Structure 1
Amino acid sequence: MESMTKRNAFQFRRANEEDLPEICRIVKLAGESVPVKEWFEAEDEEFLAKHIREEGFTLLAKKNGQIAAIMIVRIPGLAEDNLGEYLKISREEMKRVAHLEIAVVVPEYQGYGLQYELFCQSEAIVKNKQMRYLMATVHPDNIYSFRNMEKLGMKAVLETKKYGGKRRYVMSKTLES
């Protein structure tokens, strides 16, 4: 119950254009401070902006007006890098895949269950958008993110090389209608 009380101190909402500079700063910082560089693929401003306005959405957890955590979700459609290809599903079903792209919790807010809470909120949104598959990649040694994904009901489909040869599990969850 303690962690739920802690989570209640945060406000959760969708990001907008005004949040972009702070999101970029936090993602860059995460890329620089992650304990193992291969665990995190820091994306550029263009990628981050797209996921506020068009190719998905970005959720924020805020406390006292400051961003504490970010979750970026992509709806890839029929893009070449749609992770649904690993599920061997039809082109029509590929349109119903959503990717959990980036999850970052600012160091001083780690331990409050924010990554898991943002996962849950993201799942609810993609279900409302009639998505059927929630997918992600995670480095096999990044036990923190891996466990959060398992807690959400995601399973490792396979291990492969992504992002220029970095090891990744492809994670997937089939959403109930």
Structure 2
Amino acid sequence: MEDEIIEIYEYNDQTLELSLVTEEEIPEALEVVRDTFERTKNKKCKVFRLESDEKMRSYMTDKGFAVKAMRYGEMVAVFVVQTEGVDKILVETGLELSEEERKSAALIYSWYPMTYIRNGEGVPVRLINKMMRAAEKVMWDRGIHYAAGIIDYGVTRAMGTFGRSRYEERGDFQKENGEMQTLFWKDLKKVESHLMNGDDDCPWFRIEQVQEQEGPEIYNFMQRIYEGIPDKSWFSMDKEEKILRYVATAGFAVKAEAPVGGHEYELAGIFIARTSELGEENLGKYLNLSEEELTRVAHMEIAMVDEEFRGRGLQKELMKTAEEHLKFLGYHWLMGTAHPENVYSVNNFRKLGYEIVAKDLKYGGLPRYVFCKKI
């Protein structure tokens, strides 16, 4: 994966390529580190403390990895991730973390300078967040499910960086020398929550992943919407136990909630993606995929929006959110079905770049288009 471009960041007239730092590139990466440190004004802040070349080299190789940003052939930024010895560091914080969390976490912002951006002309500030996301993809590919970050207490710039990347504060702690620090945390298994703009009637919607304990509420919502569908052939309603399994273990669900005053919300729409237990139902068979490729197929299973909130693009937003997470998880073929006369679902699939790859009778003899999108 070292030579593979993880992500391309387009910014104004610039194109920045993000990829792993190779062993041959470590001297250049260290030069970026030293150069940036010399330009840093606030050298007393631990975010910008300079470790020895030997220690930094170990973080870039056997004890972690580094992501670089290349612009016109020049390395302009380096992002370092520590993957070994993180458990011990997290224990020393004294904060409440499960053993599973501690043992499956990587540290992306520690007591050494982790993100270095040369103060070259036109290097975008948000590049840090792009590099953080690229690093998270590498973590996931390596079986790391949590990303942790530790910064000096009250460092507002670093706090803003973590906030933009959807990290949550897990707590403050005091080191033996009396210094206060803050632990930031992100569960990479979860969909990134965000807000979606609405209209005058509902100014915004909250988009986030459904938790396992919310499964019964999701099923009741679906049942209510289903009862209002005039032509039941448009939708094949699964039993409750299947829906609960999709939400908990065989996939995930994303919900849209509308504010109803104070801190209260009401469910406006849901989307469910199936990622496992597809078996003979795997739609990848329409593409003649190999056995290995079939494991990279995800089903865009169910989309439902309350009648009160339709016409605002919620179904499209929920599907886009699920697509981004599925891409992060490593799925390549997104597939779904829709009744040919269900123009709303058909149009949503097409607007998101899905193509019809088959027309077949499914779910007990009901006509369906089979859609596919490769990501």
TM-score (norm 1): 0.93
Instruction: Report the residue type matching 1:161 in the other structure.
Output: L
What is the one-letter code of the residue matched to 1:74? Answer: R
In the alignment, what sits opposite 1:122? 322
Q: Which residue of 1 aligns with 2:350?
A: 150
Pick from 11, 16, 30 the counterpart of residue 225 of structure 2. 30
Residue 23 of structure 1 aligns to which amino acid in structure 2?
I
- Matched-pair contact (CA < 8 Å) for 2:216–2:244: no
CA contact 1:100–1:135 (8 Å) conserved in 2: yes
| Distance (Å, rounded) in 2 between the aligned partners of 1:56 and 1:76 | 6
What is the deviation of 1:42? 1.4
| 85-94 or 37-46, which deviates more | 37-46
Instruction: Give, in angstroms, the shift of residue 52 of structure 1.
Output: 1.5
Structure 2 residue corresponding to 1:105, chosen from 294, 298, 305: 305
CA distance in 1, matches of 2:254, 2:268: 11
Kept after mapping to 2: 8 A contact 1:15/1:59:
yes
Bigger mean CA offset, 56-65 vs 12-21? 12-21
What do residues 5-53 of structure 1 show as CA deviations (whole Å, max 9, x unaligned)?
A: 4386100111013322221111112221113111011112111111121
> What's the C-alpha RMSD, in Å, of the aligned pairs?
1.6
| Partner Cα separation in structure 2 for residue 102 and residue 5 of structure 1 | 22
Q: Which amino acid aligns with 2:333?
A: Y
Q: Which residues of structure 2 form unaligned runs of 5+?
A: 1-195, 260-264
Structure number with the bigger relative contact order (C-alpha 8 A, sep ≥ 6) is: 1
Q: Distance in 2 between matches of 1:5 and 1:36?
A: 29
The 3 A distance-change label for structure 1 pair 23 and 101 is: same
Q: Is residue 77–residue 96 contact of structure 1 (8 Å, CA) maintained in 2?
A: no
Corresponding residue for 2:207? 12
CA contact (8 A) 1:78 1:94 kept: no
Which residue among 47, 51, 60 is the counterpart of 2:246?
Answer: 51
Give the partner amino acid of 1:160.
D
Residue in 2 aligned with 1:138?
A: 338
Secondary structure at the residue paired with 1:34?
coil
Equivalent AA in structure 2 for residue 147 of structure 1: N
1:83 aligns with 2:283: yes
Q: Could you tell me whether the CA contact under 8 Å between 1:77 and 1:94 is conserved in 2?
A: no
Shift of 1:79: 1.1
- Alpha-carbon distance in 2 for matches of 1:109, 1:172: 27
Richer in helix (by share): 1
Maintained 8 Å contact 1:160/1:169: yes
- Superposition misfits of 4+ residues, deviation over 2 angstroms: 3-8
Deviations 1:68-88 (A, max 9, x none): 000000013661110000011
Q: Equivalents in 2 of 1:94, 1:52: separation in Å?
A: 21
Mapped contact 1:62–1:68 kept (Cα < 8 A):
yes
Tell me how far 1:129 sits from its aligned partner.
Answer: 0.7
Residue 165 of structure 1 deviates from its aligned partner by 0.4
Check conservation: 1:135, 1:171, Cα contact below 8 A.
yes
Q: Deviations over 1:82-140 (max 9, x none)?
A: 00000111010000000011100011010110000001001001000110000000000
Q: Matches of 1:18 and 1:77 in 2, distance apart? A: 20
Work out whether residues 274 and 300 of structure 2, in 8 Å CA contact, stay in contact via their aligned partners in 1. yes
Matched, 1:163 2:363: yes
Match of 1:43, SS state, is coil
- The reply to whether residue 63 of structure 1 matches residue 258 of structure 2 is yes
Percent identity between the aligned chains?
A: 39
Contact 2:197 2:204 in 1 (8 A): no
Distance 2:205 2:352 in 1: 20
Q: Deviations over 1:145-167 (max 9, x none)?
A: 00000011001111101100000
Q: Report the 3-state secondary structure (helix = DSSP H, G, I; strand = E; otherwise coil) of the residue aligned with 1:153.
A: coil
28, 39, 53: which one pairs with 2:234? 39
- Partners of 1:51 and 1:57 within 8 A in 2: yes
